[in-house]
């Protein structure tokens, strides 16, 4: 056999290896892994920082930021830090809300890959900023950088997920798994941040998170969206051609408006709790920092369970019904907080609230994907950009207004009024049942008529 024949035999083998590498990079399994990890790390970062803010701000104001190991025996006045803490917590969603309006259409045009990578680098820079910032303004700047990174990461991740899973039932399951990443991140972040901070100091938890973010960034570089069907490609081309006009039509969609309004009010309630609960637990219930983290773990565990249950309920019950009952349960849980005087009271109340929040979290994303497919030619970037904006609007308003109103109307009325608003808003989800008729009757005819 001559050399030419040997080379010709090797070429198919090399082609097979290259094809296997490409198929691995475009596999749906890798897509869901990348999106799951992106969501998980996002929440680990959030849930690590937020319980620590009262202690960080207290030490900044008392010129004690150089201490590496935290002494939990000091008698703090943590409620005095709720306004500044609310500003820092609310700054991220506030900035992210504005950025999302630009990132969504940008992802529709350029794809998911580079926004996800740039978002990872932004999150790494912000995490290191939290580890070393010695002033309030530096913490605020780090939070703003985190907002930009999170906006690029989350929107592009959801766009990749919706683009990769086109079938309705499969997409619902994959969306639930992705949102489960948020709950797992919350489950890990609360005890991880509080415990490591308490025993090893301030720098260690943020350094560990930054290291995992770099690994996540490498996976984002590897992943590629699976190939499109011809129908999907034609819808994407139409979306890109319409540009700003199509984006305005997306913004004016009545079903999208109802979903986003529910999402805003849910996250306002969550923002109020996130911005005020850690300080209240330390000041009123007299819990140590690591115990605060463990209290929040119980709620996160029930939230994960609720999301797993909702994944199967969506097969038999319409998503709008799950959203309705989720908001009712979350409202009840929020209203019980003022009646808590013992640790186990707080744990049970936190669990009830998190069950309701988990149910809502699991169904909103699939509802949005259905609206994008059936009404807006699969404009996932634009739809999920608005979703991110509504999510962040709620989380911006909640902590800031919660921190201020806590000193005006008191803890009890703050939580009772929040609970009433969430429960009343649950009725906004009822018109979403009409989406069933739209999906079955008009979903396949929409693009033909245009």
The tens digit of pLDDT for each residue in 116-156 reads 889 999 999 999 998 888 788 888 999 999 999 998 888 88
- Domain membership of residue 405 (yes or no) is yes
How many domains does one find in the chain? 1
- Domain membership of residue 13 (yes or no) is no
- Domain membership of residue 319 (yes or no) is yes
Number of neighbours of residue 164 by Cβ within 10 angstroms: 24
Average model confidence (pLDDT) across the chain:
77
**In the structure, what pLDDT confidence band is assigned to residue 80 with cuts at 50, 70 and 90?**
low
Give DSSP secondary structure letters for 291-304: HHHHHHHHHHHHHH
Cα first-last separation, the chain: 61
CB 398 within 8 A of CB 271: yes
CATH number at residue 50: 1.20.1250.20
Q: Give the per-residue pLDDT at 377.
A: 66
Cα(79)–Cα(280) distance, rounded to whole angstroms?
7
CB 352 within 8 A of CB 432: no
The tens digit of pLDDT for each residue in 50-64 reads 778 877 887 777 664
Domain extent at residue 132:
29-449
**Element (DSSP H or E) covering residue 208:** helix 203-222
**In the structure, what pLDDT confidence band is assigned to residue 207 with cuts at 50, 70 and 90?**
very high
Cα(429)–Cα(380) distance, rounded to whole angstroms?
21
Which regions of 204-272 does DSSP assign to beta strands (E)? none
For residue 295, pLDDT beyond 80: no
Give DSSP secondary structure letters for 87-130: HHHHHHHHHHHHHHHHHHHHHHHH-SHHHHHHHHHHHHHHHHHH
- Domain membership of residue 235 (yes or no) is yes
- Domain membership of residue 22 (yes or no) is no
Q: Is 300 helix (H, G, I), strand (E, B) or coil?
A: helix
- Domain membership of residue 8 (yes or no) is no
Q: Give the per-residue pLDDT at 202.
A: 84
- Domain membership of residue 4 (yes or no) is no
This prediction has a pTM of 0.69
Cα(425)–Cα(183) distance, rounded to whole angstroms?
23
Q: Is 252 helix (H, G, I), strand (E, B) or coil?
A: coil
Cα(175)–Cα(185) distance, rounded to whole angstroms?
16
Q: What percent of the chain has pLDDT over 70?
A: 79
Where helices occur in 409-430 by DSSP H, the ranges are 410-425
Flag the least confident range among 16-25, 173-182, 391-400, 441-450.
Answer: 441-450
Tell me how far CA of residue 311 lies from CA of 29, 37, 175, 317, in angstroms: 18, 19, 9, 10
- Domain membership of residue 11 (yes or no) is no
Q: Token digits for 184?
A: 């797992």
* Four-residue CA torsion sign, 350, 355, 358, 364: negative
Tell me how far CA of residue 240 lies from CA of 111, 250, 376, in angstroms: 11, 13, 11
For residue 220, pLDDT beyond 90: no
């Amino acid at each position: 056999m001559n050399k030419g024949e040997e080379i010709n035999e090797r070429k198919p083998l090399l082609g097979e290896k290259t094809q296997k590498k490409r198929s691995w990079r475009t596999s749906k399994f890798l897509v869901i892994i990348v999106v799951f990890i992106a969501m998980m790390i996002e929440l680990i970062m959030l849930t690590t920082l937020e319980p620590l803010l009262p202690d960080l701000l207290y030490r900044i104001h008392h010129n004690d930021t150089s201490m590496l190991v935290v002494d939990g025996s000091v008698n703090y006045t943590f409620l005095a830090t709720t306004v500044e803490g609310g500003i820092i917590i609310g700054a991220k969603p506030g900035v992210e809300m504005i950025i999302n309006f630009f990132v969504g259409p940008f992802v529709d045009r350029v794809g998911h890959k580079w926004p996800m990578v740039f978002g990872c680098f932004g999150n790494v820079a912000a995490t290191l900023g939290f580890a070393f910032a010695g002033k309030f303004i530096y913490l605020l700047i780090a939070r703003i950088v985190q907002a930009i990174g999170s906006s690029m990461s989350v929107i592009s991740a959801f766009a990749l997920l919706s683009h990769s899973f086109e079938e309705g039932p499969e997409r619902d399951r994959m969306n639930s798994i992705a949102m489960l990443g948020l709950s797992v991140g919350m489950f890990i972040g609360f005890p991880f941040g509080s415990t490591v901070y308490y025993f090893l100091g301030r720098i260690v938890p943020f350094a560990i998170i930054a290291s995992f973010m770099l690994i996540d960034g490498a996976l984002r570089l590897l992943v590629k969206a699976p190939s499109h069907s011809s129908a999907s490609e034609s819808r994407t081309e139409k979306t890109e051609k319409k540009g700003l006009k199509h984006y305005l039509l997306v913004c004016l969609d009545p079903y999208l408006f109802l979903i986003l309004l529910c999402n805003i009010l849910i996250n306002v309630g969550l923002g109020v709790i996130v911005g005020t609960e850690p300080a209240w637990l330390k000041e009123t219930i007299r819990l140590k920092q690591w115990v605060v983290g463990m209290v929040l773990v119980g709620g996160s565990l029930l939230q994960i369970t609720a999301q797993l249950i909702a994944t199967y309920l969506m097969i038999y019950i319409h998503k709008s019904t799950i959203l309705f009952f989720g908001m009712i349960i979350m409202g009840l849980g929020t209203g019980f907080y003022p009646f808590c005087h013992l640790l186990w009271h707080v744990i049970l109340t936190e669990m009830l609230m998190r069950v309701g929040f988990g149910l809502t979290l699991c169904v909103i994303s699939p509802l949005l994907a259905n609206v994008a497919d059936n009404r807006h030619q699969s404009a996932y970037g634009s739809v999920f950009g608005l979703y991110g904006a509504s999510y962040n609007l709620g989380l911006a308003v909640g902590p800031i207004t919660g921190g201020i109103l806590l000193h005006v109307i008191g803890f009890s009325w703050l939580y009772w009024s929040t609970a009433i608003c969430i429960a009343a808003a649950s009725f906004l989800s009822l018109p979403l049942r009409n989406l069933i008729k739209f999906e079955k009757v008009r979903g396949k005819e929409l693009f033909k008529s245009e």
